[in-house]
Amino acid sequence: MKVLIIDDHTLFREGLSSLLKRRDIEVVDSVGDGKQGIEAAKTKKIDIILLDMRMPKLDGIATLKKLNKLKAKPAIVILTTSTSDYDLKNSLKNGARGYLLKDMEADELVLALHKISDGQIVVDPSLNYLMAQIISEKKIDNSQEKSLETPFDKLTPREKDILKLLAKGQSNKIIARNLNISDGTVKLHVKSILKKLNIHSRVAAAVLLVKFGVKNI
């Protein structure tokens, strides 16, 4: 796995680079601002970009948008101290494949990077409550997306009901109780939902709802 680090704090960059190298992850480059990061992404082979949110000149979201316009598109992961629902929502809407916090354990970070490298979307587990809040309060403006096709078109009405509850963090047992069906039936539906949406976790399901909006399910 080849990683690019974009963060304006030199000591953090150096520490993170050392941590990743000790776990057999190649740090291709480590730069201090968004413009340098974009140039590095243009010229070097990179699998994952670890991008800070708060940076001078070009902040994380602005850098994220520019990186997503490049021909080669590595998976971009926001690595930040921000637990703001606005930052989380904005990052996912603009194509981030992960949203992780800087105080997470080293082994958890490495595991998350491997999942992202395998195509999954990963949000720091401590932010699951924000994901549920974003879903339930319908905080995303869907005005430009209402007419677009969504991945949810493949789902049956029952699967859509289960997905909404799944994204709110409800367990299979609670979903079964709410919908008056058996736990086994819920498990089968959940398996079908994940397969149809080509995702691997409940968090990824919540991310899709954030991206496309509850009204589009």
Residue 145: pLDDT over 50? no
Determine the average pLDDT of the residues in 147-159: 80
Confidence band for 165, pLDDT divided at 50, 70 and 90: confident
Nearest C-alpha neighbor of 39 from the set 58, 24, 23: 58
Q: Is 46 left (phi over 0), alpha (psi -120 to 50) or beta?
A: beta
Helix/strand/coil for 91: helix
Which of 98-102, 146-150, 202-206 comes out lowest in average pLDDT? Answer: 146-150
> For 23-78, what is each residue's pLDDT tens digit?
999 999 999 999 999 999 999 999 999 999 999 888 999 999 999 888 888 999 99
CA dihedral (136, 139, 140, 141) positive or negative: positive
Q: What is the mean pLDDT of the chain?
A: 86
Q: Check residue 164 and give its pLDDT.
A: 86
> For 191-216, what is each residue's pLDDT tens digit?
999 899 888 777 778 777 777 766 66
User: Which has more pLDDT, 119 or 1?
Assistant: 1
DSSP codes joined into one string, 118-142: TT--EE-GGGHHHHHHHHHHT-S--
Which of 54-68, 94-108, 122-136, 142-156 comes out lowest in average pLDDT? Answer: 142-156
Q: Check residue 143 and give its pLDDT.
A: 46
Q: Check residue 40 and give its pLDDT.
A: 94
Nearest C-alpha neighbor of 78 from the set 93, 92, 57, 58: 92
The side-by-side arrangement of strands in the sheet containing 26-31 is: 26-31, 2-6, 48-51, 75-80, 98-101, 122-123
Provide the b/e sequence for 24-33 (b: ≥16 CB within 10 Å). ebebbbbbbb
User: Which has more pLDDT, 141 or 116?
Assistant: 116
Structural domains of the chain, ranges and CATH numbers in brackets: 2-123 (3.40.50.2300), 134-216 (1.10.10.10)
